[in-house]
């Protein structure tokens, strides 16, 4: 297959302009703005944020949970390529590994800022708290990020600079590194199935535990439901696979035409649609159990207060029920639709739905929380407004994600090796 990279350009007047340098410059401005916020955060601590004891999780944790969810395609396609042996998805599986690494490394950066004591980031690895769901999530994320780094190495080592390249004359050490790079690639390919099993196991464990965490936290009225662990797993599969399809069309149809067949991309869209519909079904049943069949007065009071300060119910019915259902049906018929532009636009909906789901889970039980009094529980409305430092740090991690992805899309080949296997 043809693995040459085509540089997309924009027509401005009579000129064809490469937007890549301008795009990187824009991201660079965002990174600089973010570093200013990080400086004030590290100098003054969490007091420069809008967080409090009553609302300890805010904008950063929402970005953290969303980035982890949107990296969910990595464990899905690791299983498809290495466990189910569907090698026609190998190239797009490599893109999924990249998205997984970016999602989890972004989450790691966010947590480093959110700790308050960033120099103690290593404590969970040394001081075990096996009774804590969040400790289990932390260990799974650390181990899975390690797996993703190992899986990412061969993709980076496939860059043209590690093959016969003009830079070898200027930098002779690159020619010496090339054989080592090929050896590393060979052994990582051999242990691919083991890495896939580890990745899938760790992902399922921590995604489910993230959902289970909300069942034991303060303000459990809205948060409490038995299907939350399953919903978190399926939301990662839905949003992550939808994002993989969107970026896969750009990487493999615009920049590398011929690397991946259109049918493979259609199947990725269909998988995203099927999981999105299943997730929507679970959410509707969960709503019915929590609201229609439940006699818990605190849930209705919490919902009423949330609707007064935010479009909580509207965001559920539109962002988590109606729009995902429409998107799921359209994506499921991807081969009949055949318009990649329309499918990419529709695939945005599951991505947004995943972000809304994590956002609502993160805030609902904190903003409108119930007291612990077992006899006369009351619902208390809390307030939270992110400061400019929180927006700066959020801008930094998002710009990091886009910078890394843009460089990878521009310079990495994402080649398939059917013959090798």
HSE-up of residue 75 (Cα within 13 Å, Cβ side): 29
In angstroms, the CA 77 to CA 90 distance is 8
Environment class of 402 (CB within 10 Å of its CB; exposed 0-12, middle 13-18, buried 19+)? middle
380 φ/ψ angles, rounded to the nearest 5 degrees? -115, 135
CB atoms within 10 A of CB 126: 7
In angstroms, the CA 18 to CA 215 distance is 50
DSSP output for 136-198: HHHHHHHHHHHHHHHHHHHHHHTSGGGSS-THHHH-HHHHHHHHHHHHHHHHHHHTHHHHHHH
Report helix, strand and coil shares of the chain as percent, to nearest 5: 75, 5, 25
Q: Taking Cα atoms as reference points, which of 148, 338, 317, 159 lies closest to residue 240?
A: 148
Which residues on neighbouring strands pair with residue 380, listed in sequence order?
Answer: 369
Q: pLDDT tens per residue, the chain (421 residues)?
A: 445 788 888 888 788 888 999 999 999 999 999 999 999 999 999 999 999 888 888 899 999 999 999 999 999 999 998 888 898 999 999 999 999 999 999 999 999 998 878 888 888 889 998 888 888 888 988 999 999 999 998 888 887 777 776 766 677 776 777 777 778 777 887 888 898 899 899 988 888 888 888 777 655 667 667 788 899 999 999 999 999 999 999 999 999 888 889 999 999 999 999 999 999 999 998 888 877 766 667 777 888 888 888 888 888 899 999 999 999 999 999 999 888 999 999 999 999 999 998 888 887 778 888 776 666 677 888 888 999 999 999 999 999 999 999 999 998 888 776 544 4
The answer to whether residues 35 and 288 touch, using CB atoms and an 8 Å cutoff, is: no
In angstroms, the CA 410 to CA 2 distance is 16
Tokens describing residue 8: 């997309």
Cα–Cα distance list, 338 to 246, 261, 342 (Å): 14, 13, 8
Give the pairing of strands 15-17 and 368-370. unpaired
In angstroms, the CA 283 to CA 264 distance is 29
Which pLDDT value is given to residue 179? 78
In angstroms, the CA 158 to CA 147 distance is 18
Q: Taking Cα atoms as reference points, which of 55, 383, 359 lies closest to residue 218?
A: 55
Task: Using DSSP, state whether 17 is helix, strand or coil.
Answer: strand
The answer to whether residues 20 and 406 touch, using CB atoms and an 8 Å cutoff, is: yes
368 φ/ψ angles, rounded to the nearest 5 degrees? -120, 95
In angstroms, the CA 154 to CA 173 distance is 19
In angstroms, the CA 107 to CA 402 distance is 14
Residue-range domains of the chain with CATH: 19-381+388-411 (1.20.1630.10)
Task: Using DSSP, state whether 369 is helix, strand or coil.
Answer: strand
Which pLDDT value is given to residue 167? 66
Which pLDDT value is given to residue 420? 45
Which pLDDT value is given to residue 341? 93
In angstroms, the CA 65 to CA 52 distance is 19
Torsion of CA 197, 202, 208, 212, to 10 degrees: 150
Which pLDDT value is given to residue 85? 87
Which pLDDT value is given to residue 356? 92
Which pLDDT value is given to residue 306? 85
Which pLDDT value is given to residue 379? 81
181 φ/ψ angles, rounded to the nearest 5 degrees? -60, -40
Q: Which position has the token pair 């399922």?
A: 204
């Amino acid at each position: 297959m043809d693995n040459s990279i085509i540089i997309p350009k924009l027509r401005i007047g009579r000129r064809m302009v490469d937007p890549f340098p301008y795009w990187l410059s824009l991201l660079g401005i965002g990174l600089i703005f973010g570093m200013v916020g990080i400086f004030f955060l590290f100098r003054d601590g969490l007091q420069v944020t809008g967080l409090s004891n009553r609302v300890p999780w805010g904008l950063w944790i929402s970005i953290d949970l969303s980035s982890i969810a949107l990296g969910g395609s990595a464990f899905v396609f690791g299983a498809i390529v290495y466990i189910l042996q569907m090698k026609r998805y190998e190239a797009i599986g490599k893109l999924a590994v990249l998205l997984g690494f970016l999602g989890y490394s972004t989450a790691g950066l966010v947590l480093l800022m959110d700790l308050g004591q960033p120099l103690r980031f290593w404590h969970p690895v040394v001081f075990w708290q096996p009774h804590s769901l969040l400790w289990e999530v932390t260990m799974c994320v650390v181990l899975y990020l390690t797996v993703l780094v190992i899986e990412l190495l061969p993709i980076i080592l496939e860059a043209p600079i590690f093959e016969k390249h003009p830079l070898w004359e200027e930098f002779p050490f690159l020619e010496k590194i090339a054989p080592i790079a090929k050896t590393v690639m060979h052994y990582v390919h051999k242990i691919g199935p083991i890495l896939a099993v580890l990745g899938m196991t760790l992902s399922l464990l921590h995604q489910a535990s993230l959902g289970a965490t909300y069942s034991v936290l303060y303000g459990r009225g809205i948060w409490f439901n038995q299907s939350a662990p399953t919903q978190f797993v399926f939301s990662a599969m839905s949003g992550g696979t939808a994002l993989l399809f969107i970026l896969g069309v750009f990487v493999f149809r615009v920049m590398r035409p011929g690397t991946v067949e259109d049918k493979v991309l259609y199947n990725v869209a269909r998988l995203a649609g099927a999981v999105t519909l299943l997730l929507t079904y679970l959410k509707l049943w969960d709503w019915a159990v929590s609201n229609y069949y439940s006699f818990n007065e605190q849930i209705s009071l919490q919902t009423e207060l949330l609707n007064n300060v935010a479009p909580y119910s509207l965001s559920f019915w539109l962002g988590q029920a109606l729009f995902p259902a429409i998107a799921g049906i359209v994506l499921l018929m991807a081969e009949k639709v055949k318009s990649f532009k329309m499918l990419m636009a529709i695939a945005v909906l599951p991505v947004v739905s995943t972000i809304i789901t994590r956002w609502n889970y993160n805030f609902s039980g904190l903003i409108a929380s119930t007291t612990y009094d077992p006899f006369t529980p009351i619902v208390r409305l809390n307030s939270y407004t992110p400061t400019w430092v929180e927006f700066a740090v959020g801008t930094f991690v998002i710009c990091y994600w886009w910078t890394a992805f843009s460089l990878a899309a521009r310079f990495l080949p994402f080649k398939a090796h059917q013959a090798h296997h």
